[in-house]
Every structure is written in structure tokens, then in C-alpha cells.
Amino acid sequence: MSGRVTILTGGVGGAKLALGLCHAISASDVTAVVNTGDDFTHLGLAISPDIDTLLYTLAGKSNSTQGWGRANETWTFMEAVRSLGGEDWFALGDGDLALHVIRTQRLRQGHPLSAIIADLADAWHIAARILPMSDNPVATRVLTPDGELDFQHYFVRDRCAPVIRAIRFAGAESARAAPGVVESIRDEQSRAILIAPSNPFLSVDPILAVPSIRQALLETRAPVVAVSPIVAGDAVKGPTAKIMRELGLEVSARTVSRHYGDLIDGILVDERDPPVALDVTAARADTLMKSLEDRVRVARAALELADSLRK
């Protein structure tokens, strides 16, 4: 067994665990497979919110107070856009724009997203590997009583207020996993595959909707462990619990466990959750990740569970 670990992750919450993982083991043994279902084009710029959160978090540049974006950000661009009557519902920080402008330029030149992200991560000396789930566009769309919404319209513009009836991932069926994704999940020498405590419906499902990724998870010999995003019977942040209720599901680790079904071998559950019978092996821990120490601790607990599940 090598020390290599792959983590499937969305943005903020998942990035915290990825950071913990990079401290729990050697960062160069970490591969993060990141949701791109939130990606969209805004003001003509290609935005990849979850990937950028990973870049900022693993480069030590994230804004820990705000919970998203860069530390030491300025907002002169947005003020100018507003003065020109431009769309201002999606906040683009001045420093953040550098990622979007460079990404947009290189995509237009024909570079795949994965190659662009690898170069950006290199420039910031990030030892972990950050892989988009796919170089093909996949767009998360939310069906509400008032019709279908683009993900960012639902998530940012409408602040998750609309009721969700269903979610789909346009383009996922025909999307190929980005280079390295399937290989890292299937890697026989891997220590573990982790599913981060990101929103299962909005952040992890787009990754699982890429057929070759789902297949690799079903077939890998490495133990697959999910970290439940439910803490003390509620979601730490974001619309996870709200969506579970809207979809008629119990807000619990059991729902998360059943949602992932036979893709996972175990689940790490928050110790404050009421004990319930699960279909997979569970371990319990304090899964709230406020400090870096918390993040490392949760990563270690997930790895311990994975180690206990080796086939």
C-alpha cells in the first residue's frame, strides 16, 4: 500500500478536509478531484468556483473569515462594473479575477481545464494534485417550482431560496473524467478514496454523474469512505439540510449513507448525531472543522476508518 489518497470534493467544506489531509499525510500524496458542475461563464469569464476554492485553500490564500474567495481581496473592479451598469450579483474580487482571466484566455487558446489548473497550482507551489472532475463542460441545473435555474442563479443570485424539486447535471452523461482522475481512483496501491463532507446533491453528485468516475469508484480495490456533512442533525453551512427536506429526505447521516449506496465502504459520522443503524461501516468523531487542527483530526479519523476497511 502506498500513502496515496484521493478526495472527491466540492468547495468550501471539502477544501477544509483536503487541507487537513495535506497536513495529515504528505501533501504530494493527495489528489483532489473537484466538482466543476458549478462552473459558469460570467461577464465573458470562465469561473470555476470549487477549483478556485481548492487553489486558495491549499495555497494558503483563502479568506477564512468570509468562507470563500481570497484573503486580502479588494473590490475596485466590482465597483467599476456597477458604475457601468454591469451585472453585479456575482462578486468577483480584484485578485480573484486573475484566475478567471488567465483561465479564460487559456481555454480560448484550446488548453484543457486540467492543464490550466495544474499550471496555476504549480505557480503557487501547491504540492497536492488538483484535478477537475472533467475537462468537458458539465452544468448543474436545479428544477424549482418556477422552472429550471442555472446553478449560480440558484446558489448565489437567489441565495438558495427556491425550493428544489430535482437536480440534473447537463453534459455529465457524455463527459469523460479528466486525465488522472480514473487512474487515481482505481490505483491499487491507494490508501483510501474519501468523499468530502460537501453537499452530496450539489457538489458530489456532479462528480459521480461522470460515468467513468462512478464506474471507477464501484470497481476500485481501495476503501471508499464518505465524511458525512451532517453535524448534530443539521448541515454546518449551505443548503444541504434544506435540500434534504425539500426532497423529502431525513436530515441525517443515514440519508447521506444511503445516497452514496454501494459506492462507499464506510462513513464517518459526527459524534453528536443520534446513533442510527447504517448499511455501511461507520465511525464516529467530532467532524466540525473550525481550526486547522480540527481538519487534520477529521482527515486522520477518515483515514483510520478507511484503513480498517481494507479488503
What is the separation of C-alpha 165 from the centre of its chain, rounded to a whole number of angstroms? Answer: 22
CA distance 20 to 300: 8
Site membership for its own copies, residue 277 (CB under 8 A)? no
Phi-psi region of 12 (alpha: psi -120 to 50; beta: other; left: phi over 0): alpha
Buried b / exposed e along 279-303 (16+ C-beta atoms within 10 A): ebebbbbebbbeeeebbbbbbbbbb
Which three three-digit cell numbers place residue 100?
478567471
CA distance 264 to 66: 32
C-beta separation of 167 from 161 below 8 A:
no
Complete DSSP assignment for 35-51:
--TT-EEETTEEE-HHH
- The CB-of-62 to its own copies minimum distance in angstroms stands at 13
Single residue of 27, 91, 102, 288 touching its own copies by CB under 8 A: 102
Query: 60 or 261: whose CB is closer to its own copies?
Result: 60
Site membership for its own copies, residue 99 (CB under 8 A)? yes
Site membership for its own copies, residue 120 (CB under 8 A)? yes
Site membership for its own copies, residue 91 (CB under 8 A)? no
Footprint of its own copies on residues 6-45 (CB under 8 A)? Answer: 43-45
Site membership for its own copies, residue 74 (CB under 8 A)? yes
Single residue of 1, 71, 98, 127 touching its own copies by CB under 8 A: 98
Site membership for its own copies, residue 219 (CB under 8 A)? no
Site membership for its own copies, residue 76 (CB under 8 A)? yes
- The CB-of-107 to its own copies minimum distance in angstroms stands at 9
Site membership for its own copies, residue 150 (CB under 8 A)? no
Site membership for its own copies, residue 86 (CB under 8 A)? yes
Site membership for its own copies, residue 65 (CB under 8 A)? no
- The CB-of-97 to its own copies minimum distance in angstroms stands at 5
Phi, psi (5° rounding) for residue 134? -155, 150
C-beta separation of 138 from 175 below 8 A:
yes
Q: Rounded to whole angstroms, what are the CA distances from 58 to 19, 27, 65, 122? A: 6, 9, 16, 11
Site membership for its own copies, residue 80 (CB under 8 A)? yes
Query: 93 or 171: whose CB is closer to its own copies?
Result: 93
- The CB-of-240 to its own copies minimum distance in angstroms stands at 31
Site membership for its own copies, residue 85 (CB under 8 A)? yes
- The CB-of-171 to its own copies minimum distance in angstroms stands at 21
CA distance 304 to 153: 39
Query: How many residues form the binding site for its own copies (CB under 8 A)?
Result: 32
Secondary structure E strands in the chain: 5-9, 30-34, 40-42, 45-47, 129-132, 139-144, 147-150, 166-170, 192-195, 224-227, 230-231, 234-235, 266-270, 281-285
Query: 61 or 176: whose CB is closer to its own copies?
Result: 61
- The CB-of-96 to its own copies minimum distance in angstroms stands at 8
Residues engaged in binding its own copies (CB under 8 A): 43-45, 70, 72-74, 76-77, 79-81, 83-86, 93-99, 101-102, 104-105, 108, 119-120, 123-124
